[in-house]
């Protein structure tokens, strides 16, 4: 694949995004940047959220995982549905009742200053590291496929890529993101569907044969029940439910889009339809995975393996697309990975800016002119932060360490789960100054537990359910520093009012 051709595709793609940004960011204000003036159509938000909820890692990893994990990931997706139901019926009514811009403001109203700052800080750490790692993985693919051939340093690739995101998001924020993510979600889904069609055509399979091939493959198995199997259905299902609650319902990135809807009723319609759409989307990704391995077997292509002799699922799609598919199929892959990566990254950058401006700069107390200046500076700051994190990971050049950091960043959602659950389901008040400490130790303990679970728990390996342990430990820690609301009010009449 010609590097010049790929560069032309990338340039053309970003020209479209910048044109969209220009048309949607005129007369932008803080209200349009943060919540799109709370006037976004729910169906547009639902569609745009698909691209945001996925990433370049999902584009590569979900198809790649079917070799080792089969379709066990569908158990997680089924759990998502229950999680979205909880978000729509419990969290969204709370957020709309309080008219929030940053969802972490709830913690201040419920518990106080330190709880609020702890929740917001956990989000900033989680989202910054997570977004940077997702961009790192995809930048590595593009560097290998294109930019190494041109002699472009990795640092330049990363800096230019993120700068382009900054250019089309810094003015309009969410009012622009909703339009660009709608375009990018459409581009991503089209690329996946076209990839499925092209591989099927190479294998001489009609539509009915594609369905039967996937259905009859052992790689399409969903249900696993063995206790020591990390793919077991119930833990995957329950984990999917709580992952959705914390990584969507307690995450400023995705909730920011929901808060842009015109009313609670519209936000709930958006959430429920988004949940239903996400099921066939993930089935499409998993179907693509089965076909990728069928293609490799039919063509006698050796799969990439690691030092342990196991297939590296994340390398399968990129390897086939850039080295074995037709030129057109390779172009589709590049466009698809760009679309899904940047629809996730641009949303993350806007959410980071929103949270820092609202939660730490208290931007609402300034004039509109001053708010604009602070927004632009904060947006640029997080652009630099993402570049720096990616370059640190590149310097480490240790995939196992990077994977460990990625998982550790995910653990920070456990304390969020504990904090919000304690606020919503109890009437007790916390000793606010101790909250940061009570939220700091559970992720560290869970990290150690996860690393040693096979030895300590008779061969049991934690999957996503480590999040539940994390949240439960946080909840119990908070219980230890809590008092009944009446006692708290008697000791400190100025304590935050109860919000539930």
Residue 384's pLDDT band, with cuts at 50, 70 and 90, is very high
pLDDT over threshold 50, residue 498 = no
Confidence at residue 405, expressed as pLDDT on a 0 to 100 scale: 53
pLDDT over threshold 60, residue 499 = no
pLDDT over threshold 90, residue 12 = no
Residue 488's pLDDT band, with cuts at 50, 70 and 90, is low
Which two structure tokens, joined as six digits, stand for 49? 């959220």
Measured between alpha carbons, how far is 428 from 479 in angstroms, rounded to an integer?
8
Residue 402's pLDDT band, with cuts at 50, 70 and 90, is very low
Most confident of the following: 305-314, 344-353, 432-441? 432-441
Confidence at residue 497, expressed as pLDDT on a 0 to 100 scale: 52
pLDDT over threshold 90, residue 421 = yes
Lowest-pLDDT range, 160-174, 233-247, 396-410, 420-434?
396-410
Closest-CA residue to 297 (of 222, 199, 215, 220): 199
Segment 50-62 shows an average pLDDT of 75
The string of pLDDT tens digits covering residues 150-179 is 888 989 988 988 888 898 888 888 888 888
Segment 26-42 shows an average pLDDT of 83
Confidence at residue 175, expressed as pLDDT on a 0 to 100 scale: 87
Residue 500's pLDDT band, with cuts at 50, 70 and 90, is very low
With 0-12 / 13-18 / 19 or more C-beta atoms within 10 angstroms meaning exposed / middle / buried, residue 408 is middle
Which residues, in sequence order, are CB contacts of 149 under 8 Å at separation 6+?
3
Confidence at residue 490, expressed as pLDDT on a 0 to 100 scale: 56
The string of pLDDT tens digits covering residues 282-308 is 899 899 989 999 988 888 888 888 777
pLDDT over threshold 80, residue 340 = no
Percentage above 90 pLDDT, the chain: 26
pLDDT over threshold 50, residue 50 = yes
HEC readout, 257-288: HHCCECCHHHHHHHHHHHHHHHHHHHHHHHHH
Q: Are 342 and 135 in contact (CB under 8 A)?
A: no
Measured between alpha carbons, how far is 281 from 288 in angstroms, rounded to an integer?
11
pLDDT over threshold 60, residue 416 = yes
Mean pLDDT over each residue of the chain, to the nearest integer: 85
Percentage above 70 pLDDT, the chain: 92
pTM listed for this prediction: 0.84
Segment 312-324 shows an average pLDDT of 81
Residue 265's pLDDT band, with cuts at 50, 70 and 90, is very high
Residue 17's pLDDT band, with cuts at 50, 70 and 90, is confident
The string of pLDDT tens digits covering residues 58-94 is 777 888 888 888 888 889 889 999 999 999 999 999 9
Measured between alpha carbons, how far is 284 from 216 in angstroms, rounded to an integer?
16
Confidence at residue 424, expressed as pLDDT on a 0 to 100 scale: 92
Place of tokens 């919503």: 424
The string of pLDDT tens digits covering residues 427-436 is 999 999 999 9
Segment 484-498 shows an average pLDDT of 58
Confidence at residue 404, expressed as pLDDT on a 0 to 100 scale: 54
Residue 473's pLDDT band, with cuts at 50, 70 and 90, is very high
Q: Are 250 and 94 in contact (CB under 8 A)?
A: no
Positive or negative: CA dihedral 50, 53, 59, 64: negative
Q: Which helix (H) or strand (E) holds 429?
A: strand 429-430
pLDDT over threshold 90, residue 476 = yes
């Amino acid at each position: 694949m010609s590097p010049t051709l790929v560069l032309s595709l990338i340039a053309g793609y970003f020209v479209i995004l910048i044109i969209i940004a220009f048309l949607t960011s005129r007369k932008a204000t803080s209200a349009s940047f943060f919540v799109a003036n709370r006037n976004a159509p729910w169906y547009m938000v639902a569609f745009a959220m698909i691209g945001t909820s996925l990433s370049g890692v999902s584009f590569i990893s979900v198809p790649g995982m079917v070799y080792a994990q089969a379709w066990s990931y569908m158990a997680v997706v089924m759990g998502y549905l229950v999680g979205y139901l909880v978000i729509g019926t419990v969290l969204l009514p709370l957020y709309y009742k309080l008219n929030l811009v940053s969802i972490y403001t709830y913690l201040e109203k419920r518990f106080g200053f330190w709880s609020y700052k702890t929740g917001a800080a956990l989000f900033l750490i989680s989202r910054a590291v997570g977004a940077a790692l997702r961009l790192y993985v995809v930048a590595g693919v593009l560097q290998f496929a294109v930019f190494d051939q041109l002699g472009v340093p990795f640092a330049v690739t990363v800096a230019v890529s993120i700068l382009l995101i900054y250019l089309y998001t810094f003015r309009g924020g969410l009012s622009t993101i909703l339009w660009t993510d709608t375009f990018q979600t459409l581009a991503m889904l089209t690329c996946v569907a076209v990839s499925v069609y092209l591989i099927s055509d190479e294998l001489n399979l009609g539509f009915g044969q594609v369905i039967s091939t996937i259905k009859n493959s052992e790689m399409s198995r969903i249900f696993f029940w063995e206790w020591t199997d990390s793919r077991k259905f119930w833990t995957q299902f329950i984990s999917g439910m709580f992952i959705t609650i914390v990584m969507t319902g307690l995450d400023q990135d995705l909730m920011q889009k929901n808060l842009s809807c015109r009313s609670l009723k519209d936000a709930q319609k958006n959430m429920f339809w988004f949940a239903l759409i996400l099921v066939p989307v993930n089935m499409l990704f998993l179907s693509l995975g089965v076909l990728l391995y069928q293609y490799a077997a039919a063509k006698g292509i050796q799969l990439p393996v690691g030092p342990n002799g196991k297939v590296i699922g994340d390398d399968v799609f990129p390897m086939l697309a850039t080295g074995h598919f037709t030129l057109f199929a390779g172009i589709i892959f590049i466009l698809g990975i760009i679309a899904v990566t940047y629809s996730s990254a641009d949303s993350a950058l806007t959410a980071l800016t929103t949270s820092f401006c609202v939660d730490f700069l208290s931007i609402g107390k300034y004039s509109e002119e001053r708010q604009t200046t602070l927004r632009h500076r904060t947006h640029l700051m997080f652009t630099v932060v993402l570049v720096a994190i990616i370059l640190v990971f590149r310097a480490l050049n240790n995939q196992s360490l990077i994977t460990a950091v990625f998982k550790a960043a995910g653990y920070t959602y456990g304390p969020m789960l504990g904090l919000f659950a304690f606020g919503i389901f109890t009437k007790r008040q916390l000793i606010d100054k101790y909250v940061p400490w009570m939220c700091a130790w559970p992720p560290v303990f869970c990290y150690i537990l996860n690393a040693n679970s096979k030895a300590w728990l008779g061969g049991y390996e934690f999957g996503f359910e480590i999040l539940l342990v994390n949240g439960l430990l946080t909840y119990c820690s908070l219980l230890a520093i809590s008092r009944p609301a009446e006692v708290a009010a008697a000791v400190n009449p100025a304590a935050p009012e109860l919000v539930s």
